């Protein structure tokens, strides 16, 4: 990493797209260990081997930068979770749930950082997080072949908060088997949407 920081190289000039991608990538690498707000421009620039000024050339403001980073993280997760279009509706929901648990198991700290940072102070970042949750709920509802009235959305969104919390603490301290966890989550979801 940071090959361009080698002092010997006479100064490498990148295309705009490359630089942006590199900077976002650095943000993603920093995210698990650093709360989003504490991510400093200096540090990112140093890692990229560029001056602070250049970062402001690509992202007008610090907020704009880490919003982009958060959005990249969200997209990364969504790509992983969204069901392949061929499968059956039932399979789609259980598949997403299963992949979500797997995601949390694999990217433990990253995911926590994403959720944390999202809830945190900044409204812009919170917005990205809300967007992600709503897209997931949207997909889940259509997969369940249910109309999405406001009430059902609220319930499923809240169920997702439940799921996030439970899967998180379960990954820290597994108090049941993985299939048990999945069954429980699915059961609660089914009862809730039936409730409407």
Partner DNA sequence: CCGGCTTGCTGAGCAACGCTCAACAAGCTA
Partner DNA sequence: TAGCTTGTTGAGCGTTGCTCAGCAAGCCGG
Residues that bind a copy of itself (CB under 8 A): 35-38, 115-123, 126, 150-151, 154-155, 157-166, 169-170, 173, 175-176, 184, 188, 191-192, 195
Helix (H, G, I), strand (E, B) or coil at 68: helix
Burial class (CB in 10 A: 0-12, 13-18, 19+), 146: middle
Site for DNA contains 40 (CB under 7 A): yes
**Out of 3, 6, 7, 10, which residue is the one contacting DNA (CB under 7 A)?**
10
Q: CB 1: neighbour CB atoms within 10 A?
A: 11
Q: Name the minimum Å distance from CB 111 to a copy of itself.
A: 14
Q: 82-105: buried (b, 16+ CB within 10 Å) or exposed (e) per residue?
A: ebeeeeeeeebbbbbbbebbebbe
Site for DNA contains 62 (CB under 7 A): yes
**Out of 3, 16, 150, 194, which residue is the one contacting DNA (CB under 7 A)?**
16
Q: Name the minimum Å distance from CB 3 to a copy of itself.
A: 30
Residue 37's Cβ-side half-sphere holds a number of Cα atoms within 13 Å equal to: 10
Of 78-97, binders to DNA (CB under 7 A) are: none
Q: Name the minimum Å distance from CB 63 to DNA.
A: 6
Are 45 and 122 a contacting pair, CB within 8 Å? no
Burial class (CB in 10 A: 0-12, 13-18, 19+), 6: exposed
Site for DNA contains 46 (CB under 7 A): no
Q: Which is nearer to DNA, 4 or 175 (CB)?
A: 4
Q: Which is nearer to a copy of itself, 46 or 133 (CB)?
A: 133
Phi and psi for 145 in degrees, rounded to 5?
Answer: 55, 45
Site for DNA contains 41 (CB under 7 A): yes
Binding region for DNA (CB under 7 A): 10-16, 19, 39-42, 49-54, 56-57, 60-63
């Amino acid at each position: 990493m940071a090959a361009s920081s080698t002092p010997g190289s006479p100064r490498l000039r990148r295309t705009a797209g490359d630089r942006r991608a590199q900077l976002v990538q650095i943000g993603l690498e920093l995210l698990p260990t650093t709360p989003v707000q504490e991510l400093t421009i200096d540090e990112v620039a140093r890692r990229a081997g560029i001056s602070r000024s250049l970062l402001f050339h690509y992202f007008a403001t610090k907020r704009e930068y880490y919003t982009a980073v958060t959005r990249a993280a969200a997209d990364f997760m969504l790509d992983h979770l969204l069901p392949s279009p061929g499968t059956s509706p039932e399979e789609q929901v259980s598949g997403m749930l299963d992949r979500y648990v797997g995601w949390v198991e694999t990217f433990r700290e990253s995911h926590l950082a994403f959720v944390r940072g999202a809830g945190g102070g900044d409204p812009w970042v919170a917005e990205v997080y809300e967007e992600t949750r709503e897209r997931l709920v949207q997909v889940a509802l259509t997969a369940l072949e249910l109309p999405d009235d406001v009430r059902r959305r609220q319930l499923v969104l809240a169920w997702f908060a439940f799921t996030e919390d439970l899967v998180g603490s379960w990954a820290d301290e597994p108090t049941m088997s993985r299939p048990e966890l999945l069954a429980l989550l699915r059961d609660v979801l089914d009862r809730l949407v039936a409730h409407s």
